[in-house]
Structure 1
């Protein structure tokens, strides 16, 4: 449906349903006190409540009817509409998901200071040892696609529990690895298991928070994934220096086990409705004689068909999210996040590779501490950037005089790419170039660390904008949009972490990060394009997706 009323205060108001069925997404009337976000059609408009109406109280699901694996053990009750949770419970759920989200990046960062020890202990070159990082990141790219699809059919909670059980098992096996090949394979599986939160976590945030507050909530959620890179290298460096690299994997296993317990008892199901793995098959009644004579062949053919369809649903259908890249606004936002994330891992590998050599010669613990500045930048940007983005959304809607028929503001996803994105686009490429040449020339260590801080601030502004925009451009497919983002950006990080050492050995840190910085500057044209053409592109995308 064409949205001709976007700029017109008298245009129709469409509101998102509080309940969504499998194939028929019904629309329920929301409160008159709710501004909207423009989406695909009447079904896709996201509703934002200024405040929770007094009569819109949470309806508790009886304990025996709760959904998800081991759901009866959850101390926090499940409700019929997760957006009606009180704010304190919404923040509690956000906290759990944020802590769970810290695991995947924690797993890559905790291993960085110990890479040299792994090479010596298992008799591998540094390039081969770096595969324990790059393939871990590749798994984080691919597996969220499937976790996201499973979460829409099995529920968020079941996916969290299943993935974290596997995660603990794989990390215990990593700790007892006897060869570099065994370690690489198990690290890949560990990364895949831990990556469920990378896609499903953002979906959980979208389940419980309205759009007007979602930018702030998403930034707080990202504090978890960013806390991993902040503390993991310190812990990894200390453990590796005191007990060798295997201690990092034992610690990681215990950490995952603690989060698993937290999920079991603290995280209810938040998805409004789930889809069955396979639709029910209705068989026509036949005469008893004919049924008996054909029962064997029919059973075999029917069972084979159902198994083939199940395999398609599990392994083929999730890959369809890649087709979202044919839409220009999705392609551009995902690309910009991917180039930024890939350069983050180029920087991470460079720190470990460069500061153990002349002229720095730092030990494993000190190398771990060098990851603090950019992580501090992430924290500061995450804490203040989310509110900033939400305020920009409100300001732009008022400035454009976009109101619905009830006088409530109409928000657009592309409103999030304003001066906040420009600041990020300038800061993080400049930080890369600054870091590269100060390390290349052997400048006192504090100079490249200041550069890393500004890289952290700038890159986090980009990550927060892109993730929130994707959940709003694909409102009914928020987990799929974030999974697609993770898929592309972790492929970039996989390639970046694998090629960094050979490139540094070839041209040095200075030229590597100069090239990276200018590539990042050039990529910032995405911001200009989205600001000028984003609305039209999104309208075209919405019409094609109907």
Structure 2
């Protein structure tokens, strides 16, 4: 007779870590005796994603990064083709630029669906469906015969390409504990702005999802395990926490659409982080319009050589990853041991943002006052390395902070963050060329540097006041789990 499925018959002890993971799921009321029918993972259960092998976790991390990198490449790919589109379809530069902006506008819609849906039905089915449709829209866009079709398909493509942006970070939080997540996210964080340096591989990525990426979301895995236990034992009393969710279709739709904004508008921490990340993200897309002004117009480089000016950005990101792995992550691991058995406060993640925030502002001043045609192109070009380094550290610190602070709602919190970031990413290219033409590259970049200086205190303020804000939060780790408020 085959072994019986492993079912936890011990009390479910809600430690801080457990609360974060099960916060939005209704759980049975506390009873004086353990519930022998509540299915959970055993301590070394191989079905638990956090117990998977080191190699498997790293493969999934790199695969998640590849999905994000593919989507971000597709967002910016047409930027070099704007002159061709203007000639082919007889449209203005602003309409041509919409091929980038509308794709990023899709990022404003997609995360509202993909993040919460992945918390209802799991990561894997959302990845498969959304990426397949994204691939179809990419093909349709390539075959379009008029600008209207191109713009519509670009928007739809961006909507479905947004799934990795909302869910890949959540996937990483599913499989890594807090100690290992920092290094994993260090590799993953390079993807959003390294994308422009590679070619699109949408079809390959979809096959990779279908054949190699398993389900990682713990509540969904436990629901499947409970179903298997019921089938194996013939006893319908066994259940998982997610089985207690009996929502109508209207309630599910409201939960899916409203959840990211419920978290965002009630959390000052998330509002501040999202504002800062959105400005940084918008600046990345703004550079796609600013670099041609500086290097193509100012230095008379052709489009191909001008595109090479972006290479220092991913190089700076790579240096940031190496720096984090060699210097910052070991100190975090020591902090884990120091704080054990309690988790490390999320504010510890912000140290690298406190280093990177001033560097981000400095990089724009550097770029601004070396943009004169009389100065060697190497001066403004190399400023991109510091820019890429600081962007990677800012994103890495704030992504980790969001996940540590809102682990149960990581996908929804990241979805809300992605929506606002995408609004900035879609809007910045629309005024970038005009701003750089009217103010000149020097003063336009100086303006961005000044705004970066204004936002620079955000990680410093959160480091000091974050614990107080988390204690007052409904959804942060130190708060009791809101089992019904996000139903």
Common fold by TM > 0.5? yes
- In the TM superposition, 1:105-504 aligns within 5 A as 105-232=72-199, 252=200, 255-274=201-220, 310=249, 313-314=252-253, 317-325=256-264, 326-357=266-297, 359-385=298-324, 388-394=327-333, 403=339, 408=341, 410-418=343-351, 420-504=352-436
How many Å apart are 1:22 and its aligned residue? 3.9
For the residue of structure 2 that corresponds to 1:459, the secondary structure is helix
Q: Tell me, in whole angstroms, the C-alpha distance in 1 between the residues paired with 2:430 and 2:356.
A: 26
Q: For the structure 1 residues 18 and 87, does the alpha-carbon distance in structure 2 shift closer, same or farther, using more than 3 Å as the test?
A: farther
Instruction: Find out whether 1:517 has 2:449 as its counterpart.
Output: yes
Higher helix share: 2
**How many Å separate the matches in 2 of 1:313 and 1:190?**
25
Aligned-partner Cα distance in 2 for 1:14–1:341: 32
Q: Distance in 2 between matches of 1:423 and 1:26?
A: 45
Give the SS at the match of 1:102: helix
CA distance in 1, matches of 2:293, 2:20: 51
Aligned equivalents of 1:360, 1:18: Cα separation in 2? 53
Distance 1:309 1:181, change over 3 A: farther
CA–CA distance in 1 between the matches of 2:432 and 2:218?
Answer: 44
In the alignment, the residues of structure 2 paired with residue 330 and residue 181 of structure 1 have an alpha-carbon distance, to the nearest angstrom, of 37
Contact 2:104 2:422 in 1 (8 A): yes
TM-score by length of 2: 0.81
Going from structure 1 to structure 2, the CA distance change for 1:18 and 1:485 (only over 3 Å counts) comes to closer
Cα drift, residue 181 of structure 1: 2.1
Q: For 1:356, what is the secondary structure of its paired residue?
A: helix
Larger radius of gyration: 1
Q: Is the 8 A contact 2:112 2:256 kept in 1?
A: no
Distance across 1 between alignment mates of 2:251 and 2:144: 34
Q: Deviations over 1:50-88 (max 9, x none)?
A: xxxxx95443xxxxxxxxxxxxxxxxxxx3x11110111
Of 61, 64, 85, which aligns to 2:52?
Answer: 85
Contact 1:135 1:494 in 2 (8 A): yes
Asked if structure 1 preserves the Cα contact closer than 8 Å seen for 2:131 and 2:160, the reply is: yes
- 2: distance between equivalents of 1:145 and 1:388? 36
Whether contact under 8 Å (1:113, 1:352) holds in the other structure is: no
Aligned-partner Cα distance in 2 for 1:363–1:268: 45
Looking at structure 2, the residues matched to 535 and 141 of structure 1 have their Cα atoms a distance apart, in angstroms, of: 30
**Separation of aligned partners in 1, 2:19 and 2:263:** 23
> CA offsets per residue over residues 171-227 of structure 1, 9 Å max, x none?
111112222222111111111111100011111101100011111111122244343
Deviation sequence 1:372-405 (CA, Å, 0-9, x none): 111111122133325644344455677xxx64xx
TM-score of the pair, normalised by structure 1: 0.73
Q: Give the 3 Å change call, closer, same or farther, for CA 23–514 of structure 1 in structure 2.
A: same
Question: Alignment length, in residue pairs?
Answer: 428
Computed over aligned residues only, the root mean square deviation of the Cα atoms, in angstroms, reads: 2.7
From the superposition, tell whether residues 173 and 410 of structure 1 become closer, same or farther in structure 2 (CA, over 3 Å): closer
> Aligned-pair distance for 1:316?
6.5
* Partner of residue 232, structure 2: none
Matched-pair contact (CA < 8 Å) for 2:70–2:202: yes
Name structure 2 gaps, 5 residues minimum. Answer: 1-13, 31-41, 224-246, 483-487
Write out the 4+ residue segments of structure 1 that deviate beyond 6 Å after TM superposition. none
